[in-house]
Amino acid sequence: MSFLLFLRGFIAVLVAFAVASYAITQSAWTTFIQTLICAVIIQVGYFIAILFMVWRSGETRKRGETLSRGENAASAGDIQPKGETAQLPGVGRSPLP
């Protein structure tokens, strides 16, 4: 998600929250404080979401590197004759010819 898209949504949510809060409390000061608290909670949630996405991309990258190393090790060993396929690790051969 781009920052501009987040910012537009963030402002829209805060305006809607402020209007609803003012309609309920009829107090500008209470509305300001509650809207400020809402803004902080949204920012913390956005920060946690970004951290989670970065963590998940690191896990995916590690998994990809491990798989590519495994493929290189498997392909460096035996060279398959033309027309045959390599057996996958952990997958048994079919009993059919």
Q: How far apart are CA 89 and CA 85, in angstroms?
A: 13
Give the model's confidence band at 91: pLDDT under 50 very low, under 70 low, under 90 confident, else very high.
Answer: confident
Q: How far apart are CA 40 and CA 84, in angstroms?
A: 60
Q: Is the pTM of this model over 0.95?
A: no
CB-count exposure of residue 85 (10 Å: 0-12, 13-18, 19+): exposed
Q: pLDDT for 4-52, tens place per residue?
A: 998 899 999 999 999 999 999 999 999 999 999 999 999 999 899 989 9
The conformation of residue 74, written as its DSSP 8-state character, comes to H
